[in-house]
Amino acid sequence: MMAHDLSCQELADLLTEYLEEALPADVRVKFEEHLAHCGYCVAFVDQMNWTIKLTHDLGKPQLPSPGHDDLLKLFRDWKTDQS
């Protein structure tokens, strides 16, 4: 590995910026060069992309109205008791 190459740890640290397309061009090139030679990091990036997709597809959980109202009342009562 050359001195300017990214380590797997450095790639992991930069993943959020990479996925948000916020990496500077030179760092993005190094990131993608690392992916071209590291199957472990390719799997890691794929796993993160799937996690993002699946959690996004879940959307907000919907409670039935009585359950939602009961939870809000419990929270409000608890918050009042804490004052």
DSSP 21: T
Sorted by where each begins, the domain ranges of the chain are 8-82
1: pLDDT strictly greater than 70 = no
Crossing angle, helix 25-37 and helix 39-58, to 10 degrees?
A: 110
How far is C-alpha 83 from the geometric centre of its chain's CA atoms?
A: 35
> At 29, which amino acid appears?
V
Which CATH number fits the domain 8-82, given the four candidates 1.10.1660, 1.10.10, 3.30.2250, 3.30.200? 1.10.10
Q: What is the pLDDT of residues 14-42, one digit of tens each?
A: 999 999 999 999 999 999 999 999 999 99
The b-or-e profile of 56-74 (16+ CB within 10 A means b, else e) is eeeeeeeeeeeeeeeeeee
Lookup: tokens for 11 = 């790639």
Higher pLDDT, 52 or 59: 52
